[in-house]
Amino acid sequence: MIKTYKSYLLYFLMLVYISGSIGFVVNPPFFSPFTPYTLLLTCFVFLIHSPVAVKKFIFAFFSVAFLGFIIEVIGVKTGLIFGKYSYGNGLGIKFLEVPLIISINWAMLIFAGITTVSRIFANKITVLIVASLLVTGIDLLIEQVAPKLDFWQFEGGLPGLHNYLGWIGVAFFISYFFYPTIIKGNRTVSLIILILQIIFFTSLFIFI
C-alpha cells in the first residue's frame, strides 16, 4: 500500500512538471507563483523514496541543505563566492535575503546527482567530481531563465566563470563527508528528478 502511494506521488510529480512546462510557456505570470511549491513537492517525493528510516540520511540531507543556505547567505552578502547577485521573489519566502527553498532544492540535486553518477562510477572522487559538474550544469541551465522568472539576478547580467567554479567546489566539498550516506539514496527516483528538472528548464529556455 505504501509502495503504491509513493508510486502515485512520483507519477503526479511527473504530471506537475509536464503541465508546468506547458503552463510556463502559455502563461508564465499565472504559473510562476507555484514554483516554490513544486520544488517542495519534488523534495518530498525524493525523500519518501529515500531511506528516511536511516537517521544518518535525514541528518546528511538537512546538513547539506543548511550548509548550502549558509554559503548562499555569505554569497549574497559578500559576492565573493559566486559573484554579486540578489534573489527576487520567484522562489518564495526569504530569510537573510535567501529563499528557504533554494538550499533544499540544491541539497536534493546534489544528492540526486551523486546517487545517479554512482551507478556509473565506483571511485568516490570520480563520482563527486562528475556529480558536481552535473549539478553545476543544471545551475547553468537555470541561470538562463532565472532573471525572467524573478528567481535571482546577477549584477551586470549573466554570472562570471567563478560562479560555476564556486558551485563545483561547493557541491564537491559540501558532500564529501556525507558521501557514504548519500549513495544509499534511490537511484531510479534520483535519475527521474534530474531528468524532470533538465527537461523543464530546457523547455523554459527555449520557449520563454
- Residues sharing a CB contact under 8 Å with residue 61, sequence separation 6 or more, in sequence order: 47, 50, 107, 108, 111
Instruction: Name the one residue in this structure whose C-alpha cell is 559566486.
Output: 82
* Count of structural domains, the chain: 1
- pLDDT 10s digits, 154-179: 887 778 888 888 899 999 999 999 99
The model's confidence at residue 52, banded by pLDDT at 50, 70 and 90, is: low
Q: What is the arithmetic mean of pLDDT over 106-135?
A: 95
90 and 25 Cβ atoms separated by less than 8 Å: no
Please give the grid coordinates belonging to residue 180: 557514504
Can you give the residue range of the structural domain that contains 121?
A: 2-207
